[in-house]
Chains A and B, each alone.
Chain A
Amino acid sequence: MNSSPGRFSRRGAPKKVIMKYALYLGCSIPIKYPGFEAATRLVCEKLEIELVDLSFSCCPPSTSMKQVHYGSWLALAARNLCVAEEAGLDLLTLCSGCVNTLKEANHILKENDSKRRRVNRVLKSVNHRFEGTIEVTHILDVLCQDSVQDKIKALKARDIPLRMGAHYGCHYFRPSAVMKPQVLDEDEYPLPMHMDELLSFIGAEPIQFGRKYLCCGMPLGANMDQDAGYALTREKLFHIRASNVQALSVVCPSCFEQFDMGQIILGRKYKEKDHIPTFYLTQLLGLYMGMSPTEVGMDVHRIKTRKLLKTIGIE
């Protein structure tokens, strides 16, 4: 008998990590910015990250439903979590708002027995039950994993040598005790820097700017006062321009809308013509992997990207 490993032995074979997520699109991305969805699907396909579409609803936002009716906020979020649990998949979000609601609700329902019991009583009528078996993540966190970065590097077609400002979106990292508990353990001030690192990884120069970690203006505009919301955006743009940022990278469709549509509206009002293009992160990854601007949906941005991309040889 030969005791050495046979041809069917798995020893020595490279360990293949299969990444598979329930894709949580939310509302804004598939409806207002389907280009981001397209870019994300293309990039994930290249990275061999399998995305499964399930029957989700609105998250719902902590900026709106949570402020109006907490119980409804928690129960609807719980239903979305249940749908992913039933498929046995972790949930991948593409929006700073969605990740906030779903991560916080998951945290609350796992920790708080009485709230879980009450929510499950509600969900019973629609045949769901929250068990607490999955985790919620965001595309930015997935792209920053070491194994994924190795793959990104292997897929490089070109660098993106632009002076870029990373914009995370408040709800992506606050409240930090829920959104980034691991950062708190290290006794550091809980502000994220990993999109900045990812941007330098794809050949961009991450630029720091004033008001970087403050509100883009969207919730104030959406709930109460659109002019006040855009006034905040304008404050932010002032600092962004002062730092000579050439383009912004966002991971939230609401932040994108504030900067993209916002610059059109502010431009009309104040006759400001110095427009800074905004990109959704996976669009930039797509460009890095050799996709065309149109393939990743940049053709429909209100602030045009063509001129800027031409300066770095991308057409």
Chain B
Amino acid sequence: MTDMVVRTGLSRKDIYECYQCARCTGSCPALEVRPDAYGPRETILRWLDQGRDKLTRDKHIWLCCTCNVCEERCPQMLPISDLLTDLRNLAARRGNIPDRLAAAIRLLAVTGRTMIVHQLDEMRAHHGLEPLPPAAAEEVRAILKETGLDEVIEF
């Protein structure tokens, strides 16, 4: 199922339903702290003007909190979050993925969890808790091989 994506089912014509009102961008937290981010409005405009291919090579598409505020507030009810997820999935497949994110995904693929700490048993015992059983790492790995994650990130 390597080609499984969100599939918004939106054509280029549908995306033209965006009339660039920037209500999304006015609500975008990422844009507030990173003025070089595009925000949803500009991302959609670039998509239409330059085509999706060019955009998938652009690092700026990862400057996003995934908070979904843009989608909630879109007066045209465009599924902006799904559009951006589709775009980033394609970008990742082409090798455009932030290092920190790639490292987190690799850790998950290998251990079944997204984080790791030293002296975990002692920490848990301090709070009166049993040691944490290992995650079902082998099953996780088998699933992720089957879904084709290793075509995007080696693990």
Q: Taking beta carbons and an 8 Å cutoff, which residues of A are in contact with B?
A: 27-28, 30-32, 34-35, 37-38, 41, 53, 55-58, 60-72, 74-76, 79, 115, 118-119, 121-123, 125-126, 170-171, 174-176, 190, 214-215, 217, 219-220, 222-225, 228-229, 231-232, 235, 297, 300
Please measure, in the bound complex, the distance between the C-alpha atom of A53 and the C-alpha atom of B33, giving whole angstroms.
40
Contact of A76 among B120, B140, B148 (CB under 8 A): B140
Whether the Cβ atoms of A122 and B147 lie closer than 8 Å is yes
Whether the Cβ atoms of B69 and A65 lie closer than 8 Å is no
Please measure, in the bound complex, the distance between the C-alpha atom of A212 and the C-alpha atom of B62, giving whole angstroms.
24
Residues of chain A within 8 A of B144, CB atoms compared: 72, 75-76
Whether the Cβ atoms of A56 and B68 lie closer than 8 Å is no
Please measure, in the bound complex, the distance between the C-alpha atom of A297 and the C-alpha atom of B136, giving whole angstroms.
27
CB of A206, distance to nearest CB on chain B (Å): 22
Q: Is B43 in contact with chain A by the CB < 8 A criterion?
A: no
Whether the Cβ atoms of A71 and B105 lie closer than 8 Å is no
Whether the Cβ atoms of A34 and B143 lie closer than 8 Å is no
Whether the Cβ atoms of B115 and A121 lie closer than 8 Å is no
On whether A28 and B149 interact (CB within 8 A), knowing A64-B104, A125-B142, A235-B32, the answer reads no
CB of A223, distance to nearest CB on chain B (Å): 5
> Could you list some 28 contacts between A and B, CB below 8 A?
A30-B124, A34-B123, A34-B124, A38-B128, A55-B133, A60-B108, A64-B101, A64-B105, A65-B108, A67-B66, A67-B88, A68-B88, A68-B101, A69-B89, A69-B105, A69-B148, A115-B4, A122-B146, A170-B65, A170-B66, A190-B72, A214-B27, A214-B67, A217-B65, A220-B63, A224-B62, A224-B100, A228-B34
Residues of chain B within 8 A of A297, CB atoms compared: 127
Whether the Cβ atoms of B147 and A27 lie closer than 8 Å is no
The A-contacting residues of B in range 92-129, CB under 8 angstroms, are: 92, 97-98, 100-102, 104-105, 108, 112-117, 120, 123-124, 126-129
Please measure, in the bound complex, the distance between the C-alpha atom of A115 and the C-alpha atom of B33, giving whole angstroms.
37
Contact of A27 among B113, B140, B149 (CB under 8 A): B113
Residues of chain A within 8 A of B137, CB atoms compared: 57
Whether the Cβ atoms of A215 and B140 lie closer than 8 Å is no
Whether the Cβ atoms of A231 and B33 lie closer than 8 Å is yes
Whether the Cβ atoms of B65 and A219 lie closer than 8 Å is yes
Number of A-B contacts (CB under 8 A): 203
Contact of B140 among A41, A57, A69, A217 (CB under 8 A): A57
Whether the Cβ atoms of B146 and A75 lie closer than 8 Å is yes
Residues of chain B within 8 A of A228, CB atoms compared: 30, 33-34, 63
CB of A147, distance to nearest CB on chain B (Å): 28
Whether the Cβ atoms of B1 and A31 lie closer than 8 Å is no
Whether the Cβ atoms of B127 and A170 lie closer than 8 Å is no
CB of B122, distance to nearest CB on chain A (Å): 10
Whether the Cβ atoms of B63 and A31 lie closer than 8 Å is no
Please measure, in the bound complex, the distance between the C-alpha atom of A22 and the C-alpha atom of B15, giving whole angstroms.
41
Whether the Cβ atoms of B72 and A37 lie closer than 8 Å is no
Question: B18-44 CB contact bits vs A (8 Å, 1 = yes)?
Answer: 000000000101101110000000000
Q: Is B6 in contact with chain A by the CB < 8 A criterion?
A: yes
Whether the Cβ atoms of A232 and B29 lie closer than 8 Å is yes
Whether the Cβ atoms of B63 and A170 lie closer than 8 Å is no
Residues of chain B within 8 A of A70, CB atoms compared: 4-6, 85-86, 89
Please measure, in the bound complex, the distance between the C-alpha atom of A211 and the C-alpha atom of B85, giving whole angstroms.
25
Please measure, in the bound complex, the distance between the C-alpha atom of A55 and the C-alpha atom of B139, giving whole angstroms.
10
Residues of chain A within 8 A of B123, CB atoms compared: 34
Whether the Cβ atoms of A225 and B63 lie closer than 8 Å is yes
Most chain B beta-carbon neighbours within 10 Å: one of A72, A115, A118: A72
Residues of chain B within 8 A of A214, CB atoms compared: 27, 29, 67, 69
